[in-house]
Amino acid sequence: MSDDPTGRLEELTVEDCLALLRLGRVGRIAVVVDDAPIIVPVNYQLVDVAERNWIALRTRPGGVVARPSARVAFEIDGVDPAARRGWSVLVRGTLQTVDPATADFRDRFDPQPWLQEERDAWFVIEPFSITGRRLHGAETDWPFHIAGYL
pLDDT tens digit string along 27-49? 999 998 888 899 999 989 898 88
pLDDT higher than 50, residue 6: yes
Inside any domain, residue 150: no
Range of the domain at 62: 8-137
Q: How many domains does the chain have?
A: 1
Inside any domain, residue 149: no
Give 55-79 pLDDT, tens digit per residue. Answer: 988 887 788 888 666 899 999 999 9
pLDDT higher than 50, residue 7: yes
Inside any domain, residue 113: yes
Inside any domain, residue 55: yes
User: What does the pLDDT average to over 7-19?
Assistant: 92
| Inter-residue contact 21 to 15 (CB < 8 Å) | no
Inside any domain, residue 41: yes
What percentage of the chain carries pLDDT values higher than 70? Answer: 71
Inside any domain, residue 146: no
127: CB partners within 8 A, 6+ apart: 53, 54, 55, 91, 92, 93
